[in-house]
Amino acid sequence: MTTPDDRLAYRLITGPDDDEFCRRVSEALADGYQLHGPPTLVAAGDRIIAGQALVRPPQSFVDAFPEHLRRMMGYP
């Protein structure tokens, strides 16, 4: 896992709509990212490609939470 200072403020995760895509989004959420808008689905022939934007809240926003809630969100 990366440290909060190493993470990008914005990420767009894309890939086939499968368990691996869901795992990648779930890992980003566990790493402190938040969903940014709904997922996008695109038909590519006989495959469905999914996309999900994620953002990391600014540190000042995180600092507003009590310590126990920051730990629950994955922040030190």
Q: How many domains in the chain?
A: 1
Q: Indicate whether 2 belongs to any domain.
A: no
Give 50's strand partners: 15, 41
Q: Indicate whether 3 belongs to any domain.
A: no
Q: Per residue in 8-37, pLDDT tens?
A: 899 999 999 999 999 999 999 999 899 999
Q: Indicate whether 1 belongs to any domain.
A: no
Q: Indicate whether 48 belongs to any domain.
A: yes
- Between 68 and 14, residue with greater pLDDT: 14
Q: Indicate whether 60 belongs to any domain.
A: yes
* Rg of the chain taking only CA atoms, in angstroms: 14
Q: CB of 61 within 8 A of CB of 28?
A: no
pLDDT, position 27: 96
For the residues 46-56, what does the mean pLDDT come to?
A: 96
Q: Which domain holds residue 63?
A: 10-71
**CA distance linking residue 48 with residue 6, whole number of Å:** 31
pLDDT at 1 over 70: no
